[in-house]
Amino acid sequence: MHELSVAQEILEIVNQYVPDPKPNTVKSVKVKVGKFSNILTDSLTFCFDVITSDTPLSGVRLEVVQIPVKIKCTGCNQESEIEPPVFACPICGNNQIKIVSGTELWVDEIELFDEILEDK
């Protein structure tokens, strides 16, 4: 539901690195989204497309890399991947676990078109 405001924050960060962009400057924006971050990927890319349309960033691809949910068990000390809503160590069954990844919401990188191509 809050993908629109998340898309706006992403755009704001992109604008800090590429201020006053010209069309065909930015190729894609790569974001990392944890599978436990309450973000619907399709909705996020849709919102990003909507807010960039009719701007110089129109057509820029928002590339979403999904990060699986990983935990570290405080019992057996092993790291494993889990599928919420099951929050227990798949190795020993202990439910005293720490989430080590899967809550990310990061702007990772911006990919630019080569300047030479742009000039042509």
Partner 1 sequence: MSVITIERKVLEKNDAIAQQNRELFRGKNLFTMNLVSSPGSGKTSIVERTIHHTKNKFNVAVIEGDVQTSLDAERVAAYGVPVVQIVTQGACHLEAGLVRDAYIQIEKNNFEVLFVENVGNLVCPAGYDLGEDLKVVIVSTTEGDDKPLKYPAMFRNASALIINKIDLVPYVNCSLETLLKNALSINPSLKVFKTSCTTDEGIAEWCGWIESKIKR
> Would you count residue 67 as binding partner 1 (CB under 8 A)?
no
> Would you count residue 64 as binding partner 1 (CB under 8 A)?
no
Per the CB < 8 A criterion, the answer to whether 39 and 103 are in contact is no
How far is residue 84's CA from residue 38's CA, in Å, rounded to a whole number? 11
The secondary structure of 22-54 as a DSSP string is PTTSEEEEEEEEETTS---HHHHHHHHHHHHTT
Proportion of the chain in helix, strand, coil states, percent, rounded to 5: 25, 30, 40
- Nearer residue to partner 1 within complex by CB, 55 or 109: 109
Site string for partner 1, 76-115 (x = CB under 8 A): --------xxxxx------xx--x-----xxxxxxxxxx-
> Would you count residue 71 as binding partner 1 (CB under 8 A)?
no
> Would you count residue 118 as binding partner 1 (CB under 8 A)?
no
> Would you count residue 18 as binding partner 1 (CB under 8 A)?
yes
State the DSSP code for 81.
E
Length of the chain: 120
> Would you count residue 9 as binding partner 1 (CB under 8 A)?
yes
| Footprint of partner 1 (CB under 8 A) | 1-2, 5-6, 9-10, 12-13, 17-18, 27, 31, 36-39, 84-88, 95-96, 99, 105-114
